[in-house]
Amino acid sequence: NRSRPANKIIQPDFKFEDMGIGGLDSEFSNIFRRAFASRIFPPDLIEKLGIQHVKGILLYGPPGTGKTLMARQIGKMLNSVEPIIVNGPEILNKFVGQSEENIRKLFAPAEEEYREKGDESQLHIIIFDELDAICKQRGGRSDNTGVGDSVVNQLLSKMDGVDQLNNILLIGMTNRKDLIDEALLRPGRLEVHIEVGLPDEKGRLQIIGIHTLKMRQNHILNKDVDLQELATLTRNFSGAEIAGLIKSASSFAFNRHIKVGTMAGIEADISKLEITRDDFLGALTEVKPAFGASEEELE
Ligand code: ATP
Q: pTM of the full predicted structure?
A: 0.85
Closest residue by Cα to atom 1, ligand 1, is 63
The DSSP symbol for 16 reads G
Could you tell which of 69, 73, 179, 241 is best to mutate to test the pocket of ligand 1, judged by most ligand atoms within 8 Å of the CB?
69
- Write the single-letter amino acid at 60: Y
Closest residue by Cα to atom 12, ligand 1, is 64
Distance of alpha carbon 284 from the chain centroid: 25
Query: pLDDT tens string for the chain (299 positions)?
Result: 445 565 555 666 666 677 889 999 899 889 988 888 887 777 788 788 888 888 899 999 999 999 999 998 888 888 788 999 988 888 776 656 677 777 888 899 999 999 998 888 888 999 999 999 887 645 554 444 555 567 788 888 888 877 778 889 999 999 999 989 888 898 889 999 999 999 999 999 999 999 999 999 999 999 999 999 999 999 999 999 999 999 999 999 988 877 666 556 666 667 778 999 999 999 999 999 997 655 454 44
How far apart (Å, rounded) are the C-alpha atoms in residues 232 and 69?
24
Residue 239's alpha-carbon distances to 49, 210, 218, in angstroms, are: 39, 10, 22
What are residue 138's phi and psi, to 5 degrees? Answer: -60, 130
**Ligand 1 within 6 A of CB of 65:** yes
Burial annotation 223-257 (CB, 10 A radius, 16+ → b, else e): eebebeebbebbbbbbbbbbbbbbebbbebbeeee
What are residue 2's phi and psi, to 5 degrees? Answer: -65, 145
